[in-house]
Amino acid sequence: MATVSAELKGKYVLVVNAGSSSFKTQILSCENETPILAVLAERIGANNGKLIFKVNPDTDKEEKHAFDVHYPTHGEGIRDMMKRIVDMGILPNFDSIVATGHRVLLGGPKYAECKVDATVKQVIRDYIPLGPLHNPANLACIEVIEEILPGVPAVAVFDTGFHTTMPDYAYTYGISKELSEKYHLRRYGFHGISHKYVSKTAAKYLGKETFTGICCHLGNGCSISAIKDGKCVDTTMGLTPLEGLLMGTRCGDIDASLPLFLMEQEGYTPTQMSDLLNKQSGLKALAGSNDMRDVENLIEKGDKDAILANNIFNYRIIKYIGAYLAVLGQIDGILFTGGIGENASVTREPICKAFEPFGLELDTELNQIRSGEPREINKKGSKIKALVVPTNEELEIMQTTLKILGY
């Protein structure tokens, strides 16, 4: 934890992470970098919305409050949340909030993290066509909080930001140059905030300045990044989060002709096709559930579909790690994070075993241990290390926000 300056004593950062129909926020103390409040608002736009407040989350003093709400828009949700924070006495007012940090989905090829101004807002607007569900929600949250907290600086931390260092041959698609330029078509990569946090944490754990290796973020969405000297050189997600690994509800890599074929045969519109590939595919389509815990239970019962789904899931991860091993040459280690990466020892085991011939010696007992701390799961002396590193995107956003603002 960084030592804080006197001006940050007793101060907080508000972190906002808005999804297409939800938002997560945290108020984190600048002194100890832990949240005093974590909020989740779900089903924005629907009649059966839920707002969940966790005061002192993940501590023995945690208090959970759930409210039925109806938020027509993200803005209305944020306004109501802020009012409740004061009404419930979580903060007496907002004088102690020194900054807000916003996760923004897409910032294009140049923007990674920056103080929000008119130019940055325009960048967020410019990328709405490629992030039609997230970028408008992110902008709405920024603008409403600006009204509620006038004069409090805001920082945008782009989920694509960590990947802006990729070389052109890793991000360029083999299609018409004119069309790529006209529509900004290229690999952007996502989960950047997580890949950055986890690789920085791994470097610290390993006693290195920077990390060189492969980071696997395996949650509902899954992606892998190849990282050289702390900088991303390739990643599996592309123009959108659909490309790459098999995921909870996304198909990942697929022959581009397949959706065209289905659109012709079934008469699907682009929206229907996108829904099928993003929300009705992956583990959900193959095993009947997008939740890896269900897939594991089905495998135990000998369910053939679940076994195949899991084999595809693991195989694609192994394939990409192998590719990135070749890209990087020499690596410090392979990192696992996200709900599956942090918890599913049965997923980590076959993946690590596949790299035994390259010098990764898995310690199967260490692999079973559960912990919220970064940890090694390889045997002592293993040439390639395997680490489980719990992600913390909110903390990364908070630290980046304070850094950008010069604290």
φ and ψ of 318, to 5 deg: -60, -40
> Which CB sits closer to ligand ADP, 189 or 221?
221
Residue 346 CB, nearest approach to ligand ADP (Å): 8
390 binds ligand ADP, rule: CB under 6 A:
no
Number of shown-chain residues binding ligand ADP (CB under 6 A): 13
Q: Shortest Cβ contact with ligand ADP: which residue?
A: 339
For residue 212, which of 232, 195, 234, 229 has the smallest C-alpha distance?
229
**Which residues are paired to 222 by β-bridges?**
218
CA atoms within 13 A on the CB side of 14: 25
CB of 294 to ligand ADP, least distance (A): 7
The residue range among 162-170, 233-241, 335-343, 379-387 that interacts with ligand ADP, by the rule CB under 6 A, is 335-343
Q: Candidates 84, 343, 354, 361: give the one binding ligand ADP (CB under 6 A).
A: 343
Told to check if 282 binds ligand ADP by CB under 6 A, we report: no
Cβ 221 to ligand ADP, closest distance in Å? Answer: 5
Among the options 159, 291, 294, 305, which is catalytic? 159
Minimum Å gap between C-beta 103 and ligand ADP is 12
Closest approach of ligand ADP to the CB of residue 75, in Å: 23
CA distance 247 to 313: 7
Distance from the Cα of residue 273 to its chain's centroid: 24
Q: Is 339 in the site for ligand ADP (CB under 6 A)?
A: yes
Using CB under 6 A as the binding rule, whether residue 220 contacts ligand ADP is answered as: yes
Q: Which of 131, 219, 241, 390 binds ligand ADP (CB under 6 A)?
A: 219
- CB 344, min distance to ligand ADP, A: 4
Is 168 annotated as catalytic?
no
Which CB sits closer to ligand ADP, 98 or 242?
242
**Contact set for ligand ADP, span 287-306 (CB under 6 A):** 291-293, 296
CB-wise, 78 or 344, nearer to ligand ADP?
344
- State yes or no: residue 338 binds ligand ADP (CB under 6 A): yes
Nearer to ligand ADP, 274 or 343 (CB): 343
Q: Which residue stretch of 85-93, 235-243, 337-345, 380-388 sits at the interface with ligand ADP (rule: CB under 6 A)?
A: 337-345
Give a three-class secondary structure readout of the chain: CCCCCHHHCCCEEEEEEECCCCEEEEEEECCCCCEEEEEEEECCCCCCEEEEEEECCCCCCCEEEEEEECCCCHHHHHHHHHHHHHHCCCCCCCCCEEEEEEEECCCCCCCCEEECCHHHHHHHHHCCCCCCCCHHHHHHHHHHHHHHCCCCCEEEEECCHHHHHCCHHHHCCCCCHHHHHHHCCCCCCCCHHHHHHHHHHHHHHHCCCCCCEEEEEECCCEEEEEEECCEEEEECCCCCCCCCCCCCCCCCCCCCHHHHHHHHHHCCCHHHHHHHHHHCCHHHHHHCCCCHHHHHHHHHCCCHHHHHHHHHHHHHHHHHHHHHHHHHCCCCEEEEEHHHHHHCHHHHHHHHHCCHHHCECECHHHHHCCCCCCEECECCCCCEEEEECCCCHHHHHHHHHHHHCCC
120 or 218: whose CB is closer to ligand ADP?
A: 218
The region of 33-41, 215-223, 270-278, 395-403 touching ligand ADP under the rule CB under 6 A is 215-223
38 is a site residue for ligand ADP (CB under 6 A): no
Closest to ligand ADP by CB, 382 or 392: 392
Please identify, using beta-carbon distances, which residue of 332 and 342 lies nearer to ligand ADP.
342
Does the protein bind ligand ADP through residue 35 (CB under 6 A)?
no
Task: Note the residues at the interface with ligand ADP (CB under 6 A).
Answer: 219-221, 248, 291-293, 296, 338-340, 343-344
State the catalytic residues: 159
